Amino acid sequence: MENSNELSDSIITQNLLPKKFGKRGMLWTSILVAICILGMYAYYRQLRYGLVVTNMRDYVSWGIYISNFVFFVAISLVGSLITAIFRLINVEWSTPLTRIAEIIAVSAITFASIIIVVDMGRPERFMNLFLHGRIQSPIMWDVIVIGTYFFISLLLLYIPLLPDLKILLQQKDKNPNWLNKLYSFLGSFWIGSRLQIALSNRAIQILCILIIPVAFCIHTVTSWLFATTYRPGWDSTNFGAYFISGAFLVGSGGVVVAMYIFRRYYQLEKYITEQHFEKMGKIVVLLCLIYLYFNVNEYLVPAFKMKKAEEKHLNELFTGDFSTMFWFAVIIGMIIPIITLIFKKGRKPFPMFIIGSMIVVGAWFKRYLIVTPTLLNPFLPMQDIPESYKHYFPSWEEWAIAMGSLAGVLLFITFFARIFPIIPIQETITEENAKHK
């Protein structure tokens, strides 16, 4: 029995060790790098010529960059759901998903911070935010809470990684020299003593408790950037809860997509099973229903009253210029996922992958719809404004930077999966051994 356990331990280790890129991996990485380079060139142009290269003007001063920022903040919340909430309520099946969720969280929050700097016309003045910042401003709260959430997510990614680093260091002959140096730097001190394990467990427990209120804060504060104004579409007491429910949904959608891709291309069918998709499917449909409920509140109640200031905004969303995008986001981001996922067949891996992708795409457009149409309808319109103020469609530089940042997130996750095990090896071995006892 002991031998069979040892064998299964080594099989698990071999199965879960990070793998070199194949041809498809190289192609995928090259495409992402190319998109990132294009994004960097577009940003160079923005720095060189100023924000005038964007199509943002006096009315729409928060365009695709801020939509992207809200999207990244939203998707990063999944770290707290799958890692922290599931761990605290002893959801054991979530073990293979925790690191996927956490790396999505870290990479998304990193690029959320980057995209905010991109949105600044004079990024060299960033420090002024700290030197002259007013604590009364929700923007200041957002900066503080994003920094805090980033640090917690990083710790929550790093501490559970320590036992795996020991395993990686045991396979020195299989790794290139630079990787061994990196593993040694990050985790050569981990010997797996009882005291070390006890301290690590305590740290993880504290982090799991701490990350939940901070995660709620980060997205509530992001929603307050909008909701603390009187503007149509933003002036809502519902916004914090509405944003958080949407964030959990898009994050879970992102995890489902990542689960499918890693499972398929790293041959992880034994670890990320159909049961995982089945259970995640049930969670996603629940989150979809909650988010739909908040959407109904967010749009139906103002539409019932049709206050003058809200009227133009709501009409533009329901039947006007933004209606195609609005109904597209609602249908592919909520309605189709609900209809598909309530059936058992819809919760199989491939349908789940399609639904997860739809949720993520729908969520991106939803953020765009939250930010832009409101800005096109100011309370106090200016007179004799140029035509360009009245419409907004991102310039190629904005698209390139936004797509570059999305590619950056994917590249971050891709490199992480190349260097570190995407499924926790030690935890999987411990759980397997516990099952055999």
Partner 1 sequence: MQNINKVKILYFSLLITFFFGAKLSAQEEVVKLHYYNENNNLQYLILEANRKEAKILTPLPNKEYKVFLNTNDSSNLISAIKTDNSGRAKLFFPISLKESWNNNSEHTFIVEENEKEIISDFIINKAKIEIDTFTSDEGQKSIKAIVTKLVENKWLPADEVEMKLGIKRVGGILPAADEQSYTTDSSGTVVAEFKKDKIPGDENGNITLIAKVEENENFGNLSTEKIVNWGIATQVDSTFFEKRTLWSTRFKTPYWLLTLAYSIAIGIWATLIYLVYLVVKIVKLGNE
Structural tokens at position 97 = 């998903």
CB 173 within 8 A of CB 41: no
Torsion of CA 339, 341, 347, 353, to 10 degrees: 80
CA–CA separation, 204 and 210 (whole Å): 10
Q: Which positions from 370 through 409 interact with partner 1, judged by CB under 8 A?
A: 380, 382-384
What's the Cα-to-Cα distance from 186 to each of 45, 182, 389, rounded to whole Å? 37, 6, 51
Beta carbon of residue 249, minimum distance to partner 1 (angstroms, whole number): 26
Answer for which of 34, 199, 301, 306 binds partner 1 (CB under 8 A) is 199
Beta carbon of residue 177, minimum distance to partner 1 (angstroms, whole number): 22
Which of residues 144 and 290 has its CB atom nearest to partner 1 in the complex?
A: 144
Q: Is there binding between residue 200 and partner 1 (CB under 8 A)?
A: yes
Q: Is there binding between residue 322 and partner 1 (CB under 8 A)?
A: no
Rg (CA), the chain: 23
Beta carbon of residue 133, minimum distance to partner 1 (angstroms, whole number): 7
Answer for which of 193, 345, 435, 436 binds partner 1 (CB under 8 A) is 193
Count other Cβ atoms within 10 Å, centred on residue 328: 15
Q: Is there binding between residue 191 and partner 1 (CB under 8 A)?
A: yes
Which of residues 195 and 434 has its CB atom nearest to partner 1 in the complex?
A: 195
CB 282 within 8 A of CB 252: no
Answer for which of 33, 85, 129, 159 binds partner 1 (CB under 8 A) is 159
Binding mask 170-189 for partner 1 (x = CB under 8 A): ------------------xx
Beta carbon of residue 324, minimum distance to partner 1 (angstroms, whole number): 24
What does 125-154 look like in DSSP terms, one character per residue?
GTTHHHHS--TTSHHHHHHHHHHHHHHHHH
Q: Is there binding between residue 113 and partner 1 (CB under 8 A)?
A: no
CA–CA separation, 58 and 375 (whole Å): 9
Provide the binding-site residues for partner 1, judged by CB under 8 A. Answer: 132-136, 141, 144, 148, 151-152, 155, 158-159, 162, 188-191, 193, 195-196, 199-200, 202-203, 206-207, 210, 214, 380, 382-384
